[in-house]
Amino acid sequence: MADDSLLQRQEEEWQVLQAVYMDDVVDLRKKVAWKVERPLHICLILKQQQSESVAGTTDSDSMIHMVIKCPNKYPDLVPEISLENAKGLSNEQIAVLNTELIERYGSRTSSTCTDISFLYLFQVMVLELAQHVQTFLILYLFQVMVLELAQHVQTFFLFQVMVLELAQHRQLLEDEIQKRQHALKEETKKIKETKQISDEKPTEPEKAVPATPITEVPTCSPIGTPSTPRRPRMYVSCVML
């Protein structure tokens, strides 16, 4: 049968946990018809910040369930402790959390046992364990925020570099356009000057084309007209054979 003083210490710790974690602590003990004191068997829902997250909402990016099942003689005997239903944490990070708990409280016993619960033998420990887990989650959140900030800073730096490169490229294009416009203006100016000089130059007089000499055509005057020589008549004689 359990020692009444031990069960009383468990009940007092249960009341403290209820006051601190409120709806985030769940009693897993089965209900019985008679009011009988039973050892603790609870689940603590541990978040980065209880009741209010960093973003100001009731939800949390990272959380984990710590299940504690105490024997009748707790805290003289160690309880069963397990970390379950982790959200936002990898298996590696859960292992790191387990190791940190061992390293943090290992100085309380000279035992080489690596079981977390053994390190808290003979003293109530649930609240202290829960606070350490919550501290781990907060530090993890801080690391995530720092990493995200660094990524944002890097992204902003890369964006600034891209903007600078685009500005330089745009300036080169504008310079090239100005050069072409200047060359076009100079070419247009030369064409106009050449045309103006051509219009102002005097035109050479046209050379006279020599007249074609008119050849006199002899005319035949009528018979008997003075000054007109008469052509001798030709007689043809016919000889009769």
Residues in the chain: 241
pLDDT bin (cut points 50, 70, 90) of residue 75 is: confident
What total of structural domains would you count in the chain?
Answer: 1
Regarding predicted confidence, which is higher, 157 or 16? 16
What token pair was written down for 75?
Answer: 């805290």
CA–CA distances in Å: residue 162 to residues 38, 69, 156, 175: 67, 58, 10, 20
pLDDT of 57 reads 42
Q: Is the pLDDT of residue 50 over 80?
A: no
Query: Which domain covers residue 39, as residue numbers?
Result: 4-147
Q: Please check whether residue 119 lies inside any domain of the structure.
A: yes
**Residue 186 pLDDT greater than 60, yes or no:** yes
Paired strand residues for 57 = none
Q: Is residue 183 part of a domain?
A: no
Residue of 216 and 79 predicted with greater confidence: 79
CA 70 vs CA 2, 42, 147, 198: distances in Å: 12, 9, 39, 114
Domain at 39, CATH number: 3.10.110.10
With respect to residue 235, please indicate whether it lies within any of the assigned structural domains: no
Please check whether residue 216 lies inside any domain of the structure. no
In a domain, 225, yes or no: no
